Amino acid sequence: MGRKNRAPDQIRELTLERRFTENVPGSVLVRGGKTVVLCTASLEDGVPPFLMNTNRGWLTAEYSMLPGSTKSRKARDGRRPYPDARSLEIGRLIGRSLRAACDFSKMPGRTIWVDCDVLQADGGTRTLSISGAMVALTDACKEAERRGWLRGWPIVSPVAAISAGIVRGEALVDLDYSEDSNAEVDMNVVMNDKEEFVEIQSSAEKGTFNGGQLESMLGLCSQSIREILELQTKVLAD
């Protein structure tokens, strides 16, 4: 039962490489199995119009897949009339998740831009983006502190994310692309270090799921997110 090379509750090998590039204060290459995402965090002096004249800061996130990240080449965002709706949706999810980790009254009048660009896609790109961007965001906050932009440390509760699914009736965590293609249900969970939920997105295009299955998936995710949060802490201590 289960899958060949991993236990149902075992996530793929996860690495977080800080300072992968140097031009921006936060730059993390995150690898989860064969999925590879470059997460960068830039600082901007200023906030969007709706926050002008408040004493708050902001965080905006964008997500995109490089054309060569998939087996069948993905048409490039920006060479088509419209941006890809899925990319916009995932960028919004990443932004909400990371904002839930922050207290923006501590960074008045400044914006953090987070960019997650998928270099190689093998399932789980959105959750990996969140887990990696959390580290890039932390590095960017350190730079903001160095510049004297902060009124206290803005990260109140780090977040991490993972996916789970029901494949042939069994709950599995951290689906790769081939598992995801066969999943009856696909779920993405974001939690913080207080074991609170930040986002739950569960969709069942090919099947449906009951309360018990929901509970199994949430349990798997919850445990894995604890592991990822620990890894983030360890990597940030280096």
Span 44-63, contacts to a second copy by CB under 8 A = 44, 62
Of 88, 150, 155, 235, the residue at the interface with a second copy (CB under 8 A) is 88
Span 128-147, contacts to a second copy by CB under 8 A = none
Distance CA 218, CA 10 (A): 14
Q: What are phi and psi of 92, to 5 degrees?
A: -65, -40
Of 13, 46, 73, 147, the residue at the interface with a second copy (CB under 8 A) is 73
Of 208, 223, 230, 233, the residue at the interface with a second copy (CB under 8 A) is 208
Distance CA 100, CA 113 (A): 15
Angle at the Cα of 99 (from 143 to 52), degrees rounded to 5?
80
Q: What are phi and psi of 107, to 5 degrees?
A: -135, 55
- Identify whether the C-beta of residue 70 lies closer than 8 Å to the C-beta of residue 86: no
Of 121, 144, 175, 229, the residue at the interface with a second copy (CB under 8 A) is 121
For position 227 contacting a second copy by CB under 8 A, the verdict is: no
Residues in contact with a second copy, counted by CB under 8 A, come to a total of 69
For position 120 contacting a second copy by CB under 8 A, the verdict is: yes
Return the DSSP state at 53: T
For position 168 contacting a second copy by CB under 8 A, the verdict is: no
DSSP assignment string, 87-116: HHHHHHHHHHHHHTTB-GGGSTTEEEEEEE
Which residue type is seen at 14? Answer: L
- Crossing angle for the helix pair 125-146 and 85-99, to the nearest 10 degrees: 50
Residue with the two structure tokens 């289960």: 2
For position 196 contacting a second copy by CB under 8 A, the verdict is: yes
Q: How far is the CB of 171 from a second copy (least distance, A)?
A: 14
For position 117 contacting a second copy by CB under 8 A, the verdict is: yes
Of 7 and 203, the one with the shorter C-beta distance to a second copy is 203
Q: How far is the CB of 238 from a second copy (least distance, A)?
A: 21
Q: Provide the binding-site residues for a second copy, judged by CB under 8 A.
A: 20-24, 27, 34, 36, 38, 40-42, 44, 62, 64, 66-71, 73, 76-89, 91-92, 96, 99-100, 113, 115, 117, 119-122, 157, 187, 192, 194-205, 208-211, 214, 218
